[in-house]
Chain A
Amino acid sequence: MESNITGIVIADINASPPDTCTKVIAGKPILEWSILALVKSLNLNEVIVAPIGDLSSSLRGLIPKMRAKYQININVLAPSLSRITALQSALNSSPNSKIIVIHEHNRPLAVALDLKALVQQLGECDAAVCTVPVKSTVKHVLEGKIHSTVPRDKLVYIQPPYILKRESLQKCLTYASSDHHEAYDEISLAFELGLKIRAVNGSYMNFAIQNELEAAFAEQTLAQLNMTNICK
C-alpha cells in the first residue's frame, strides 16, 4: 500500500564532530543506522536527508547504495543554514506527504525502537514524540543559583524521532519564519503554538553520538541488542 509518511533525517553537520555521519559503527555509517531506524519499522514513501552544512562527497556517495539496499527512495537536499529552513526545504520537496517523521543523523540507537507507536499515537494530535522519564533530581537555576527543586515525577526528556502532521509542522515553520524564531526547533514551536503533543515511550539508549566514547558505546550497545545482523 502506498504510504503518505515521509521520513526526514536532519544531518546537522556543524553540531557534532565532522565525521559523525560517515563514521562506521557495527558495520554501518552512523547516518545509515539513523535512516534505518525509520525504514525498519515504518512504511515510508521516501526518506529525505536534510543537511545543515555541507555533506561530504563520500557521504553523498553512500546514498545510492542505501537506496538500493533498502528499496526506498532516499534523497539528499542542498545544505540549509538552520534546522527550520532544512525542514521547510524537505517539506517543499515532498508535497504529497501527509505525515512527517523527523529524526537526527547521530541517533543510531533509535533503530531499537518500534516507531509504529508514534504513528498509532498521532491520532487526533498534532505531534507525537519519544520521551523517557527524567531520573535525576532537577534544580531550577536562575543566574547561577539554585532557585528550587522541581518535582520530577511528571518530567520527561524529549528525544527524536518526532512525528507531526504535515499541516501542524507547516504551522510551526511558518510561525518560526514570520516571527524570526530560527533558534527554535519544531517541537518547541509546537509547544509555543499550543499544539497537542502526545508522548510515546522512548529509550535511554536512544542518545545522540557526540564523541568517540559515545560512538564506542553505541557500537557495543548495537551488538548487545542484537541489531548488528539486521539489514546487513
Chain B
Amino acid sequence: MKTTAIILAAGEGKRMGMPINKVFLMVGGMPILERTLRLFDHHPLVHEIILVASANEIAMCDEIAKQAGINKLSAIIPGGSTRHASEFHGLKHIAPQILSNNIGIVIFHDAVRPFVRFAELTNVIEAAKIYGASVLAVPANHKVALKEQGDLIREHNYNELWMAQTPQAFEAKSVLHAHTLANEEGFIGTDTSSVMERYGYRVHLVEGSYINIKITTPEDLLWAEQLSSNFNPHSNAKMSGAHHA
C-alpha cells in the first residue's frame, strides 16, 4: 500500500503582512513551496504527493512543481477556508484509494515547513505504521503562561508541554474516519492530531527538531534565510529552541 503526503499550501500572508501567500516567498533563492515539495519528492518512503492550494493559486503551484521536476505530485486540489477544511479536501480526494486499500498511510505537512529532515519524516511514517498515528513535536522548553486581559494568570508546567509540528502521519482509514466524524459534528481541529485525539485515537509522539520551523512571520523568514544556508536534510544534529522565545 502507498504512503501519500498531503501538503497544505492554501494559507494566506496575514501574519507575514504581505499580499502574497507565504509559500511563494523565496528562501535561499528558492520558493518555500519548492523546498518542501523537493523533500517529499526525494524521500523513498513517500510514494505520492497531493498539494492542496488556494483555487486561484493552483496554476502558480503547478508551474513551480513542473520547473522543479517534482515527479510524485499527482494532483493539485483547491483548499478550504481553514486548515482543517483543506485537510478534509485532501482526504476526500484520495478517499476512494484509501477505501480500496491502495493507500495505507497518509501524511499531512505544512508547505511552510521546508526544514523537516529525512530521518524525522522516516520516523513519523514508521511510527504511524506501528501505532496508527504519529506527530512530530518538540518539548516547549520555555516558560509558558495563560494570559487574560493583559495579566498572566497561571504558569503551565512546560515540562509537560510539547509543540506539535508537521509532518503528522496516520493509518489512512483511521484519519478518514476521524475527519468524517469531525465534519459531521462540525468540529474544527487546530491540527490533524487534535482531530484524531477527539475521536479516541492515541497519537504517538515523535521527537523532532527546532529547526523545523513554520514560516509565518517576518522574523521566521529571517531565521529561515539563515537556516537555508546550513540546512542538510540528511543531518541529525540537535538544535536548541531558543529562537522560539
- Are A and B associated in one complex? yes
Please pick, from B151, B205, B245, the residue contacting A159 in the complex, using a CB distance under 8 A.
Answer: B245
Closest Cβ of chain A to B25, distance in Å, is: 16
B230 closest partner in A (C-beta): A213
Please pick, from A150, A152, A197, the residue contacting B152 in the complex, using a CB distance under 8 A.
Answer: A197
- A141: chain B residues within 8 A (beta carbon): 137, 160-162, 205
Interface centre among A136, A138, A196, A220, by most B CB within 10 Å? A136
Is A113 interfacial (CB 8 A cutoff)?
no
Closest Cβ of chain A to B148, distance in Å, is: 6
Contact A207 B193 (CB under 8 A): no
Contact B152 A135 (CB under 8 A): no
Q: How many residues of A contact B (CB 8 A)?
A: 51
Contact A150 B145 (CB under 8 A): no
Q: How many residues of B contact A (CB 8 A)?
A: 47
- B161: chain A residues within 8 A (beta carbon): 138-141, 150
Contact B162 A157 (CB under 8 A): no
The stretch from B47-55, B62-70, B216-224 touching chain A is: B216-224
Closest Cβ of chain B to A69, distance in Å, is: 27
A220 closest partner in B (C-beta): B226
**Which A-B residue pairs are the 8 nearest by beta carbons?**
A157-B245, A136-B163, A210-B240, A158-B143, A149-B194, A137-B164, A191-B155, A197-B152
Known: A136-B164, A155-B147. 17 other contacts (CB 8 A): A135-B217, A137-B194, A138-B164, A139-B193, A141-B160, A144-B205, A149-B164, A149-B193, A149-B197, A156-B152, A158-B142, A191-B152, A197-B145, A197-B152, A199-B150, A204-B244, A208-B242
Binding site for A on B (CB under 8 A): 135, 137, 140, 142-148, 150-152, 154-156, 160-165, 189-191, 193-194, 197, 202-203, 205, 214, 216-217, 219-220, 222-223, 226-227, 230, 239-240, 242-245
Binding site for B on A (CB under 8 A): 121, 125, 129, 131-132, 134-142, 144-146, 148-150, 152, 154-159, 185, 187-188, 191, 196-199, 203-211, 213-214, 216-217, 220-221, 224
